[in-house]
Amino acid sequence: MNNPIKISLSVKDFNLPILRIDAWVTEAIKESKIATQVLNKNNYLLSRNRIKSLIEGKNLVLDGMIIDDPSFKLKDGNLITVSLPEIEKAIPSAEKIDLDIIYEDNHLIVLNKRAGMVVHPAPGSPNKTLVNALLHHCGESLVGIGGIKRPGIVHRLDKNTSGVMVAAKTELAHVGLSDIFSNHNIDREYNAIVWGQPENKGIIEKPIGRSTTNRKKMAITNKGKIAITKWQLLDVYSPIASLVQCKLETGRTHQIRVHMSSIGYSIIGDDLYGKTISKKRYKNNSLKEKVKLVESFERQALHATKLSFEHPITKKYLNFSSDLPQDMKNLIEILKGIEFKSSY
């Protein structure tokens, strides 16, 4: 990068409480007319999350010393210089992949992600991802900042989870949407087909963190981050399975899958967190075969049905929805065909 944008801030020039450095810089920039002018001139917008990332990337100097800890506590008289990396072109390549677009304007795009599509390139999935498809569809408007390799992405769905997603097409929209998700100012609803028959509704408040025994899994742990899922029973398909609606108050990795499994109602098809029912309890061979058919569902039966938020640029409130995909509808028909009488 040739000439990065630099913003200098002196603690004594602001009547702010002594905070951790990422919070203080966020508030100081909001109050600084000079900083605001510099940012506006360069079409740059900073959220606390972005500032935190900049600090972790060693883009903040405090009294001549690089600080890479966002929780560092400030003292009176400190001089802070923040370097803002220039906007870089996204690294992943563009690929022509069909997208199911629900809505699109100059700032963002809302789409229906199909099951099986990875959101962004990662080890084992270098291409044919949603990012590759967005790069082809959006062209030069889709950019990353500071070397980010997930252009436009502000949230994600697991590979085998389907449903409605939003992505940013411009830097300003990216920052605005990131803030919306970070502050939980967004409504997200999912439908899941789970094993068993839960009660009418409930709230799961259990912290989620990385499993200490399997790094691919998340787990309920006191050392994890707060996670809240509200769920409601929508339909019952005999004692074997039910359809539930889940609303996210937070957005942790695998949150719904972990939470529903933790209360004994794991999602059908979830190989990582799922539990199947014992077929030994069924004396009827025909019934056993139907249960086997349900167990063979090839992905977690989880679909993001609704997404509602305030547009980061126009401020208009937007509501988007996505019907259950055909594979989940087919699963429901199979479940409806399972009758429980004296045979179990």
In the block, residue with structure tokens 């409130």: 317
Is residue 310 within 8 A of residue 185, CB to CB? The reply is yes
Is residue 206 within 8 A of residue 179, CB to CB? The reply is no
Report the C-alpha gap between 332 and 335 in whole angstroms: 5
> For residue 31, how far is the Cα from the chain centroid?
30
Backbone φ, ψ for residue 78 (5° rounding): -70, 140
Report the C-alpha gap between 287 and 285 in whole angstroms: 5
| CB neighbour class for 280 (10 Å; exposed up to 12, middle 13-18, buried from 19) | exposed
The pair of three-digit structure tokens given for residue 184, joined into one six-digit string: 């939980």
* CA–CA distances in Å: residue 94 to residues 103, 154, 271, 295: 21, 19, 31, 37
Q: Up-side HSE of residue 222: CA atoms within 13 Å toward CB?
A: 0
Report the C-alpha gap between 35 and 75 in whole angstroms: 21
Query: Is 105 one of the catalytic residues?
Result: no
Catalytic residue among 69, 76, 100, 158: 158
**Across-strand partners of 192?**
244, 302
The pair of three-digit structure tokens given for residue 171, joined into one six-digit string: 């830097």
Active site residues: 158
